[in-house]
Chains A and B, each alone.
Chain A
Amino acid sequence: RKEVEQDPGPFNVPEGATVAFNCTYSNSASQSFFWYRQDCRKEPKLLMSVYSSGNEDGRFTAQLNRASQYISLLIRDSKLSDSATYLCVVNGGDSSYKLIFGSGTRLLVRP
């Protein structure tokens, strides 16, 4: 079983749509949770950290369910520029604070 699992997609949605991504993680000791965005052949860029209380940044909302070891990302009013791969990331839960990445969910927003 992978440590972080995501649906690879692609999710193909029209502009203005709302889209949701989910991921699950296996290590209950993980303490930090993030969503990164990666454009084709570019480096991952931090989209947002994810907190237990849930957090929102403009059109983006992230939720964490520690009991179910489940993380979600909701994107409202999708823009063409949102087309990218979204990586679910958790820390390793050990002293190194290494990041463990899912394989990513690809989003395509069409005009």
Chain B
Amino acid sequence: DAGVTQSPTHLIKTRGQQVTLRCSPISGHKSVSWYQQVLGQGPQFIFQYYEKEERGRGNFPDRFSARQFPNYSSELNVNALLLGDSALYLCASSPQIDNQPQHFGDGTRLSIL
């Protein structure tokens, strides 16, 4: 079975642009979460979606938004990109929204010039 898949793998943008990152969860997983990881730090929670509803939001500005589709895939959108948005963006899925571990995709490495 395929794991969590994310696209694109790498992306280069300039300040002020907008970006959309995509994630397909493991088949049968209904919960998708997004995390941002900057160099030297652990991943930071951005959003969690379950059954197409937002169930959690981290300490990120309103420039960050996300949604989940009926097939449980998800998109993360970031507007008005800043240099500080350069990071590895990770998507994780789990079967339900509960205490089970989350499984991560390979991530999208976003560089802002």
Contact = CB atoms under 8 A, between A and B. Distances in A.
Contact of B42 (A46, A96, A102): A102
B55 interface: yes
A101 B48 contact: no
Contacts, number: 62
A31 interface: yes
Main secondary structure of the interface of A (DSSP, over half): loop
Contact of B40 (A96, A98, A103): A103
Interface string A21-45: 0000000000110100000011111
Given A42-B106, A43-B104, A44-B90, A96 B48 contact: yes
Interface stretch (A10-18, A57-65, A72-80, A86-94): A86-94
A31 B45 contact: no
